[in-house]
Amino acid sequence: MGRIFNFSAGPAALPLEVLEQAQAEMLDWNGRGASVMEISHRSKAFIKVAEQAEADVRELLGVPQDYAVLFLQGGATQQFALLPMNLAGADQAVDYVVTGQWSKKAASEAKILRRTNVVADGAAGNYTAVPERAGWKLTPGAAYVHYCPNETIGGLEFHTVPDVGDVPLVADMSSTIMSRPVDVKRFGVIYAGAQKNIGPAGLVLMIIRRDLLERVADTVPNILRYAAQAKEGSMLNTPATYSWYVAGLVFAWLKRRGGLAAMAEINSRKAGKLYRAIDESGYYSNPVERASRSWMNVPFTLPRPELDAAFLAEAEKAGLAELKGHRSVGGMRASIYNAMPEAGVDALIQFMADFARRNG
């Protein structure tokens, strides 16, 4: 069987060139007679991999020097718990914007630890639009404002960075990081699980303003402190070395493709043509208001749910895989991260038109 077009939401497709390089280097990395995952994380050779990955993140995203770049574990979900522990005092409030399932989960973890205020909630509109900034009721003295710029399940995306004044803005960018340039200075913390748009699962990229590292209380165990990870180059204990290495290959691939401005152009074009195909079909539909639609995750439904099984089976036969929507939403979801070639989106659009014609 050849390679499929893989629309999985995560773990998601990786660029073919990256997989080929990892394959070629698997048994004998850099003439060492061993793979990169079989050597010490403290060896000179691995430190070089780690440092190059950080340098490439800094270059791709334009990360200023007063931000630390961390390579952590525990997934984005673990950060839902660690962020309030590291950034907020025991009696301090934290603000959360809820726009879908991931930001809701983040808020419910914070609630266990700190006084958590949901300052805007898109529930009334079934999370189909980004709540207007003017309506957010920020808490005076809050430690930070947390939001999720791209809701992977609902397919809802912020296309501008909300202005929250001097309060640090904390962003779960798991499913949108590196899809376009961002102005890092606008954020206190950016974090992302790697398995959507960066590399294999097991790794979390975090970009954190250094002054925020000082906030942590001494009641927080060392292993859970971002400051301790920053001090030790993210090697307080053994990091996810192989995921880190593959992420490095992805960063190099992004640089070869022209960086994030070039990716933004491709991503906006890919998403634009897929939404257009949905809207103009009179057959498929997507409930998200146009200005809030995600470039990365495109959910859509067929006219009748009874058609779903046939759609999925035929799509799979056509080499278009992992299109089943999230179990909480139903229907379909096409995740079209950086690694999804435009040809994959074109093939999906053509298949959808053909399926609609045959099952209208």
Backbone angles phi and psi of 23, in degrees to 5: -65, -45
Distances (CA, A) of 179 to 176, 263, 296: 5, 6, 8
Q: Which one among 172, 275, 345, 348 touches ligand PLP, defined by CB under 6 A?
A: 172
- Is 172 a catalytic site residue? yes
Q: Which one among 6, 99, 175, 197 touches ligand PLP, defined by CB under 6 A?
A: 175
Prior bond of 287 cis (ω within 30°): no
**Residue 352 in contact with residue 11, Cβ under 8 Å?**
no
> Which residue in the list 104, 172, 244, 270 is annotated as catalytic?
172
Question: What are the tokens at 320?
Answer: 């278009």
Cα separation, 339 vs 250, whole angstroms = 9
Question: What are the tokens at 52?
Answer: 């190059």
Q: Does 75 bind ligand PLP (CB under 6 A)?
A: yes
Which span sits near ligand PLP by CB under 6 A: 171-179, 235-243, 298-306, 349-357?
A: 171-179
Site for ligand PLP in 10-29 (CB under 6 A): 10
Distances (CA, A) of 71 to 210, 320, 325: 15, 32, 30
By C-beta, is 75 or 319 nearer to ligand PLP? 75
Cα separation, 204 vs 112, whole angstroms = 22
**Residue 244 in contact with residue 22, Cβ under 8 Å?**
no
CB of 76 to ligand PLP, least distance (A): 4
By C-beta, is 75 or 181 nearer to ligand PLP? 75
Q: Does 76 bind ligand PLP (CB under 6 A)?
A: yes
CB of 196 to ligand PLP, least distance (A): 6
By C-beta, is 85 or 352 nearer to ligand PLP? 85
Which residue has 């190059």 as its token pair?
52
Question: What are the tokens at 30?
Answer: 């850099």
Q: Does 152 bind ligand PLP (CB under 6 A)?
A: yes
Of all residues in the chain, what percent are helix, strand and coil, respectively (each to 5)? 45, 15, 40
CB of 151 to ligand PLP, least distance (A): 7
Which span sits near ligand PLP by CB under 6 A: 72-80, 276-284, 311-319, 325-333?
A: 72-80
CB of 193 to ligand PLP, least distance (A): 3
Q: Which one among 35, 52, 73, 77 touches ligand PLP, defined by CB under 6 A?
A: 77
Which span sits near ligand PLP by CB under 6 A: 172-180, 266-274, 287-295, 315-323?
A: 172-180
Residues forming a β-bridge with 150: 157
- Is 196 a catalytic site residue? yes
Nearest residue to the partner ligand PLP, using Cβ: 75
**Residue 14 in contact with residue 246, Cβ under 8 Å?**
yes
Question: Distance from first CA to last CA of the chain, Å, rounded?
Answer: 31
Which span sits near ligand PLP by CB under 6 A: 74-82, 222-230, 259-267, 352-360?
A: 74-82
Q: Does 193 bind ligand PLP (CB under 6 A)?
A: yes
Cα separation, 337 vs 180, whole angstroms = 11
- Is 56 a catalytic site residue? no
Binding site for ligand PLP (CB under 6 A): 10, 75-77, 102, 148, 152, 172, 174-175, 193, 196
List the catalytic residues.
102, 172, 196
